[in-house]
């Protein structure tokens, strides 16, 4: 009923937009990473032709990732922070999602609305709130002193790794819970009933049925929050701001906004993309698969 050329015509403007402002920019990162540096102004001169690529800054950056060197420390630190934040988020997020999907009855609507609320409060607003609470004379320290848990209030906001991990958890848990909830909701209840009918205890049914069935959801939700956490530089800056808690994102930010070496920054960005490629691919495959299911 529609002419065949109509659909490509519909798609062209958007696809062109993405090519010009998404793919080409990534090529610009590669060009700058393998480009030279203007000797007078010290700004990068990108090389667009792969034949002209220079590998000096990339090799120098790669050397930094050897164990013991500076980027290695940052990479290890970033991975540890992200892993801890991910574990913490799952420890909080899974029980919450499980409760809402399985047991909440009348409170389900209210709980869902409250869960979605943080999505509509800007991330920076939530970080501001967090910093206000943890500031030297903020409510948290007042509470700790009042309950005599500590005598001198701890300094949360100057290079304290605990605060960075807590900040990451606080910032990203909402993005974990909703996909997890969707995955848990999709589990067929009759499977659980069958497990119980066949004599499994509630704990066994959970361990042998619910948990394995929610594994794709756990993986997917973890990838969803791990990706932005690896690229995060603002959270450590806000809750710590100290070089002792620098993450990879901070390192990239510093090279562009503070330092004179954008080509090193570009190399770091490229390496970070390669490092995250597996996670990104996994996420893309799951989205594509979900869309195929919708289509069917």
Residue from 69, 70, 132, 162 that binds another protein (CB under 8 A)? 132
Exposure letters 66-102 (e unless 16+ CB within 10 A, then b): eeeeebeebbebbeebbebbbebbbeebbebbbebbe
Residue from 62, 84, 92, 145 that binds another protein (CB under 8 A)? 92
Question: CA 184, CA 178: separation in Å to the nearest integer?
Answer: 10
Residue from 53, 84, 99, 145 that binds another protein (CB under 8 A)? 99
Could you tell me which residues come within 8 angstroms of residue 6 by beta carbon, excluding any fewer than 6 positions away?
A: none
**Binders in 192-211 for another protein, by CB under 8 A:** 192-193, 196, 202-203, 205-206, 209-210
Task: Using the minimum distance from each CB to another protein, give the nearer residue, 150 or 285.
Answer: 285
Task: Using the minimum distance from each CB to another protein, give the nearer residue, 48 or 66.
Answer: 48
Shortest Å, Cβ 73 to another protein: 19
Task: Using the minimum distance from each CB to another protein, give the nearer residue, 51 or 113.
Answer: 113
* Contact stretch for another protein (CB under 8 A) within 51-59, 80-88, 145-153, 284-292: 284-292
Contact string 222-251 vs another protein (x = CB under 8 A): --x--xx-xxxxx--xx--x-------x--
Question: CA 167, CA 15: separation in Å to the nearest integer?
Answer: 37
Residue from 212, 216, 259, 260 that binds another protein (CB under 8 A)? 216
Binding of another protein at residue 133 (CB under 8 A)? yes
* Contact stretch for another protein (CB under 8 A) within 59-67, 76-84, 148-156, 261-269: 261-269
Question: CA 57, CA 265: separation in Å to the nearest integer?
Answer: 10
Could you tell me which residues come within 8 angstroms of residue 172 by beta carbon, excluding any fewer than 6 positions away?
A: 85, 89, 225, 228, 229
Task: Using the minimum distance from each CB to another protein, give the nearer residue, 23 or 66.
Answer: 23
**Binders in 35-74 for another protein, by CB under 8 A:** 44, 46
Binding of another protein at residue 160 (CB under 8 A)? no
Task: Provide DSSP, 180-230.
Answer: HHHHHHTS-HHHHHHHHHTT--HHHHIIIIIHHHTHHHHHHHHHHHHHHHH
Task: Using the minimum distance from each CB to another protein, give the nearer residue, 64 or 247.
Answer: 247
Task: Determine contact, residues 54/34, Cβ cutoff 8 Å.
Answer: yes
Binding of another protein at residue 262 (CB under 8 A)? yes
Task: Using the minimum distance from each CB to another protein, give the nearer residue, 80 or 284.
Answer: 284
C-alpha angle 93-223-188 in degrees, rounded to nearest 5? 60
Question: CA 195, CA 243: separation in Å to the nearest integer?
Answer: 52
Alpha-carbon dihedral angle through residues 166, 172, 173, 176, given to the nearest 10 degrees: -150
Task: Using the minimum distance from each CB to another protein, give the nearer residue, 66 or 243.
Answer: 243
């Amino acid at each position: 009923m529609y002419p065949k050329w109509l659909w490509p015509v519909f798609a062209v403007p958007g696809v062109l937009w993405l090519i010009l402002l998404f793919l080409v920019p990534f090529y610009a990162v590669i060009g700058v990473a393998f480009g030279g540096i203007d000797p007078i102004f010290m700004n990068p001169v990108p090389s667009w032709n792969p034949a002209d690529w220079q590998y000096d800054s990339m090799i120098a950056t790669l050397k930094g990732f050897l164990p013991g060197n500076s980027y290695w420390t940052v990479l290890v630190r970033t991975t540890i922070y992200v892993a801890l934040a991910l574990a913490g988020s799952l420890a909080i997020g899974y029980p919450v999602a499980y409760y809402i999907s399985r047991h909440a009855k009348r409170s389900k609507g209210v709980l869902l609305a409250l869960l979605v609320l943080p999505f509509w409060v800007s991330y920076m607003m939530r970080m501001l709130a967090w910093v206000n609470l943890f500031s030297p004379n903020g409510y948290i320290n007042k509470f700790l002193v009042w309950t005599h848990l500590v005598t001198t209030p701890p300094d949360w906001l100057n290079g304290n790794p605990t605060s960075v991990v807590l900040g990451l958890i606080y910032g990203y848990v909402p993005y974990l819970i909703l996909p997890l909830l969707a995955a848990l909701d999709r589990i067929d209840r009759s499977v659980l009933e069958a497990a119980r009918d066949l004599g499994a205890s509630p704990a066994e049914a959970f361990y042998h049925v619910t948990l394995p069935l929610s594994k794709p959801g756990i993986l997917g939700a973890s990838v969803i929050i791990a990706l932005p956490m690896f690229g995060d530089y603002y959270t450590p800056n806000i809750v710590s701001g100290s070089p002792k808690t620098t993450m990879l994102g901070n390192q990239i930010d510093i090279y562009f906004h503070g330092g004179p070496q954008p080509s090193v920054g570009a190399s770091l960005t490229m390496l970070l993309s390669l490092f995250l490629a597996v996670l990104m691919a996994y996420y893309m495959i799951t989205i594509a698969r979900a869309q195929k299911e919708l289509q069917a």
